[in-house]
């Protein structure tokens, strides 16, 4: 039994939710998103709340129940507030800068890493060592942040590299004499 799926999704003011079969679309001040659920769940709109229930008692229907509820919650939150992932760059000479429609990363390689910013995502560099990835699609924001982090993941000895702002790097002790 899904504990996540039992809770209805509250629709805040300023967000318009439409349900067409198993396709849920949300429109808010930041944009519009849609999600196509499987046939294993039924989605209804009742008094400003989106309610997801399993269509039958199969294992797949119960699995998709919580997943569909989370995806609808992410739609509603995305179009009303948006999502932001913050990255930190640690290391001597490591820095980032937004130039037009690309992110220029200097990460200790012999060349600069140029990352093309995808559509629907905005990247800001408040400081040369801080990058903020934001957008309305939670999955896309997380994926872009993960791709940027993958260019130079943090290493455990000095902590150099690109890490999430809330990530804790487990440090190792170096060689002993």
Mean pLDDT of 24-43: 90
Q: Do residues 111 and 49 both lie within one domain?
A: no
As a whole number of angstroms, the distance between CA 172 and CA 137 comes to 36
Taken in order 169, 152, 86, 143, the sign of the CA dihedral is negative
Mean pLDDT of 20-25: 89
Q: Do residues 75 and 60 both lie within one domain?
A: yes
Q: Is the pLDDT of residue 48 over 90?
A: no
Cβ atoms 78, 33 nearer than 8 A: yes
Q: Do residues 90 and 18 both lie within one domain?
A: no
Q: Is the pLDDT of residue 1 over 70?
A: no
Q: Is residue 92 part of a domain?
A: yes
Q: Is the pLDDT of residue 138 over 90?
A: yes
Q: Is residue 27 part of a domain?
A: yes
Last residue of a domain, one of 31, 62, 80: 80
Give the CA dihedral 18, 52, 65, 62, nearest 10 degrees: -140
- Residues paired with 109 in a beta bridge: none
Query: What is the total count of domains within the chain?
Result: 2
Q: Do residues 22 and 37 both lie within one domain?
A: yes
Q: Do residues 75 and 87 both lie within one domain?
A: no
Taken in order 107, 110, 114, 115, the sign of the CA dihedral is negative
What is the domain-level CATH number for residue 150?
A: 3.90.930.12
Q: Do residues 61 and 108 both lie within one domain?
A: no
As a whole number of angstroms, the distance between CA 89 and CA 107 comes to 9
Q: Do residues 10 and 29 both lie within one domain?
A: yes
As a whole number of angstroms, the distance between CA 51 and CA 47 comes to 10
Q: Do residues 130 and 103 both lie within one domain?
A: yes
Q: Do residues 59 and 74 both lie within one domain?
A: yes
Per residue in 53-83, pLDDT tens? 998 888 998 889 989 999 999 999 999 999 9
Q: Is residue 172 part of a domain?
A: no
Mean pLDDT of 95-100: 92
Helical ranges in 18-162 per DSSP H: 59-80, 138-150
In this prediction, what percent of the chain has a pLDDT beyond 90? 59
Mean pLDDT of 133-157: 94
pLDDT of residue 75: 92
Residue 20: both structure tokens together: 């067409």
Q: Do residues 46 and 8 both lie within one domain?
A: yes
Q: Is residue 122 part of a domain?
A: yes
Q: Is the pLDDT of residue 2 over 70?
A: no
Give the domain range for residue 29.
Answer: 3-80
Q: Do residues 28 and 64 both lie within one domain?
A: yes
pLDDT of residue 104: 93
Q: Is residue 174 part of a domain?
A: no
Cβ atoms 61, 54 nearer than 8 A: yes
| Per-chain mean pLDDT for the chain | 91
Q: What long-range pairs does 165-169 form, CB within 8 A, spacing at least 24? A: 165/86, 165/87, 165/88, 165/130, 166/86
Q: Do residues 45 and 102 both lie within one domain?
A: no
Q: Is residue 101 part of a domain?
A: yes
Cβ neighbors of 173 (< 8 A, separation 6 or more) are: none
């Amino acid at each position: 039994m899904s504990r996540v799926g039992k809770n209805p999704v509250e629709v805040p003011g300023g967000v318009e939710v439409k349900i067409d079969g198993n396709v849920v679309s949300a429109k808010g001040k930041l944009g519009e998103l849609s999600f196509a659920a499987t046939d294993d769940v039924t989605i209804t709109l009742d008094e400003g709340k989106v309610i997801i229930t399993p269509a039958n008692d199969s294992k797949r229907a119960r699995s998709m129940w919580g997943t569909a509820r989370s995806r609808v919650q992410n739609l509603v939150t995305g179009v009303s507030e948006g999502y932001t992932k913050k990255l930190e760059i640690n290391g001597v000479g490591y820095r980032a800068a937004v130039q037009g429609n690309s992110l220029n990363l200097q990460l200790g390689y012999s060349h600069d890493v140029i990352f093309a910013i995808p559509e629907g995502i905005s990247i800001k560099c408040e400081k040369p060592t801080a990058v903020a990835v934001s957008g309305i699609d939670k999955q896309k924001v997380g994926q872009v942040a993960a791709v940027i982090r993958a260019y130079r993941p943090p290493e455990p000895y000095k902590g150099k590299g690109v890490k999430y702002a809330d990530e804790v790097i487990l440090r190792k002790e170096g060689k002993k004499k």
